[in-house]
């Protein structure tokens, strides 16, 4: 069966492209052209057709991914399923299942079956877990087991897959010659692959046999998301030589994968100070031929544990503004603990707000009308309209209901001193015209 990109190049508009065009309010031919060029991807799988279709890329709304999964300390399958459903309900556009504890096949399949969203994963996690269980040493991972697992997970219905193809011996040499990393290596998949390469004195099989990786994912029309294994885990590591070297390789591989007929995403960059966000995105877009960019965070400072959903939302809004296409949420538990259900909900909503703010500035001609309508509803004390326009209306309703004002027209913030009510009385409605 053909992939979305192959259909697009043949001039065929698939049902998935039609759904994206409808959701984004753009023409079907625009979506077809962007998919054909590799500038838009549609996470999909021939074996598991997600009910909710997400288009990711140029000219489209910035999407939000939520990540869940067990750890070696906490294995609760029902909790992960509930977190997956909570993420979907909170507004996530895609979901990643990143378990490393318990029965990994079971949790993956239960999560896939629990949601309508496109689901992705990182195959290296299970590969190294299986090697550790089987041999007592993850560095004894057999290459064939790795490729077998990629095939199995695609067969289960993965719509996109983060595969760490961009780490190679040359990249490791750049890291070694650099001689330092303030935050070390923070990618579980990345550090495991580096350890395997050094222990076995061999090239990364995902890089050496990239055509084999592409062939497997093409078979299922799974989007290949080029994993960011050497991303910065501290803002002082941002844009260092090792990170940029991996980004360069991933951008080259994105071009190769597109030519082979596979949908491609590029991932990056982790912790990034705000003054480097725009440069990072422009570099990725230039080197990859405008491949969609999946931003992990980016976390904009290192000193706010417990509030990293806010540090990441600040970075994400900037990222969206400058052209990022998919944002991976960060929860309040980042750097501290395995997220619970409420952490997931908070993380998704913070990222959704950030993506919305970014899109307002990325697409000002079409992205600010809702805010104008909200402003007028507030001016007019039209509470019902305010709730209808809110990103999270139930949350807004609940807060207002928890502190009921004496005068229902106002709120308990100002009460009798409501500025909007006072302005209306002063100017007898003169400030309520549509041009205000």
> Model confidence over 367-402: pLDDT tens digits?
789 999 999 999 999 999 999 999 999 999 999 999
pLDDT level of residue 45 (50, 70, 90 thresholds):
very high
Count Cα atoms within 13 angstroms, Cβ side, for 223.
31
Q: How many whole angstroms separate alpha carbon 243 and alpha carbon 129? A: 25
User: pLDDT at residue 434 above 80?
Assistant: no
Q: What is the pLDDT of residues 274-303, one digit of tens each?
A: 999 999 999 999 999 999 999 998 999 999
Q: What is the pLDDT of residues 310-336, one digit of tens each?
A: 999 999 999 999 999 999 999 999 999
Q: Which of 6, 4, 97 is nearest to 54 (CA)?
A: 4
Residue found under tokens 């070390």: 184
Q: How many CB atoms lie within 10 A of CB 293?
A: 25
Mean pLDDT of the residues in the chain: 95
Percent of the chain whose predicted confidence (pLDDT) is above 90: 90
Cα–chain-centroid distance for residue 311? Answer: 16
Q: What is the pLDDT of residues 108-162, one digit of tens each?
A: 999 999 999 999 999 999 999 999 999 999 999 999 999 999 999 999 999 999 9
165 within 8 A of 213, measured Cβ to Cβ:
yes
Q: How many whole angstroms separate alpha carbon 320 and alpha carbon 78? A: 33
Residues 25-35: what's their mean pLDDT?
98
Expressed in angstroms, the distance from the first to the final Cα of the chain is 55
Q: What is the pLDDT of residues 165-177, one digit of tens each?
A: 999 999 999 999 9
Q: Which of 241, 266, 240 is nearest to 252 (CA)?
A: 266
At 420 the pLDDT is: 81
Q: Which of 278, 283, 89 is nearest to 266 (CA)?
A: 283
Q: How many whole angstroms separate alpha carbon 79 and alpha carbon 340? A: 8
Q: How many whole angstroms separate alpha carbon 424 and alpha carbon 229? A: 57
At 366 the pLDDT is: 81
Q: What is the pLDDT of residues 58-115, one digit of tens each?
A: 999 999 999 999 999 999 999 999 999 999 999 999 999 999 999 999 999 999 999 9
Residue found under tokens 């041009």: 435
Q: How many whole angstroms separate alpha carbon 134 and alpha carbon 138? A: 9
User: pLDDT at residue 419 above 90?
Assistant: no
Q: How many whole angstroms separate alpha carbon 51 and alpha carbon 69? A: 22
DSSP string covering 133-170:
HHHS-GGG--HHHHHHHHHHHHHHT-SEEEE--S--HH
Q: What is the pLDDT of residues 5-14, one digit of tens each?
A: 999 999 999 9
φ/ψ of residue 269, rounded to 5: -120, 0
H/E segment holding residue 103: none
Q: What is the pLDDT of residues 214-244, one digit of tens each?
A: 999 999 999 999 999 999 999 999 999 999 9
Domain limits, the chain: 4-362, 369-432
Q: What's 239-307 look like in SS3?
A: CCHHHHHHHHHHHHHHHHHHHCCCCEEEEEEEECCHHHHHHHHHHHHHHHCCCCEEEEEEECCCCCCCC
φ/ψ of residue 289, rounded to 5: 70, 35
User: pLDDT at residue 428 above 60?
Assistant: no
How do 40-41 and 56-57 pair as beta strands? antiparallel
At 167 the pLDDT is: 96
Count Cα atoms within 13 angstroms, Cβ side, for 409.
11
Q: For 4-362, give the CATH class.
A: alpha beta
Cα–chain-centroid distance for residue 210? Answer: 23
Task: Please name the residues in contact with 429: beta carbons below 8 A apart, sequence gap of 6 or more.
Answer: none
Q: How many whole angstroms separate alpha carbon 248 and alpha carbon 241? A: 10
User: pLDDT at residue 352 above 70?
Assistant: yes
At 409 the pLDDT is: 83
Q: How many whole angstroms separate alpha carbon 290 and alpha carbon 295? A: 14
Q: How many whole angstroms separate alpha carbon 97 and alpha carbon 123? A: 10
Task: Please name the residues in contact with 85: beta carbons below 8 A apart, sequence gap of 6 or more.
Answer: 114, 115
């Amino acid at each position: 069966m053909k992939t979305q990109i192959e259909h697009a190049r043949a001039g065929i508009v698939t049902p998935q492209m039609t759904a994206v065009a409808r959701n984004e309010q753009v023409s079907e031919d625009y979506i077809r052209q962007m998919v054909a060029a590799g500038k838009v991807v549609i996470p999909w799988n021939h074996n598991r057709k997600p009910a909710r279709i997400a288009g990711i890329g140029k000219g489209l709304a910035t999407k939000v991914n939520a990540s869940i999964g067990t750890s070696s300390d906490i294995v609760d399958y029902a909790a992960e399923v509930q977190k997956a459903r909570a993420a979907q309900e909170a507004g996530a556009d895609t979901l990643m299942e990143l378990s490393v504890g318990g029965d990994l096949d079971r949790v993956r399949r239960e999560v896939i079956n629990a949601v309508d969203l496109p689901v992705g994963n990182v195959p290296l996690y299970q590969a190294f877990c299986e090697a550790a269980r089987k041999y007592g040493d993850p560095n004894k991972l057999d290459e064939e087991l790795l490729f077998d697992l990629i095939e199995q997970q695609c067969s289960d219905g993965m719509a996109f897959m983060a595969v760490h193809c961009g780490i190679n011996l040359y990249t490791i040499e750049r890291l070694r010659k650099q001689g330092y990393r303030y935050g070390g290596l923070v990618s579980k998949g990345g550090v495991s692959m580096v350890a395997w390469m050094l222990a076995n004195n061999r090239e990364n099989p995902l890089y050496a046999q990239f055509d084999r990786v592409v062939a497997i994912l093409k078979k299922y029309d799974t989007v290949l998301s080029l994993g960011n294994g050497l991303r910065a885990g501290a803002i002082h590591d941002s844009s260092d030589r090792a990170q940029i070297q991996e980004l360069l390789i991933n951008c080259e591989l994105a071009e190769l994968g597109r030519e082979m007929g596979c949908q491609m995403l590029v991932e990056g960059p982790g912790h990034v100070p705000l003054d480097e966000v725009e440069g990072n995105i422009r570099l990725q877009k230039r080197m990859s031929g405008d491949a969609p960019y999946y931003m992990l965070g980016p976390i904009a400072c290192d000193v706010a544990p417990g509030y990293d959903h806010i540090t990441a939302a600040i970075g994400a809004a900037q990222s969206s503004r400058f052209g990022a296409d998919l944002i991976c949420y960060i929860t309040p538990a980042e750097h501290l603990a395995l997220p619970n259900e409420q952490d997931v909900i908070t993380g998704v909503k913070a990222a959704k707000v950030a993506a919305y703010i970014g899109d307002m500035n990325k697409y000002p001609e079409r992205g600010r009308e809702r805010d104008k309508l909200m402003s007028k509803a507030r001016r007019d004390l039209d509470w019902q309209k305010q709730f209808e326009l809110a990103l999270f209306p139930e949350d807004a309703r609940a807060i207002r209901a928890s502190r009921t004002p004496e005068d229902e027209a106002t709120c308990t913030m100002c009460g009798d001193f409501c500025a909007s009510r006072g302005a209306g009385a002063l100017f007898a409605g003169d400030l309520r015209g549509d041009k205000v």
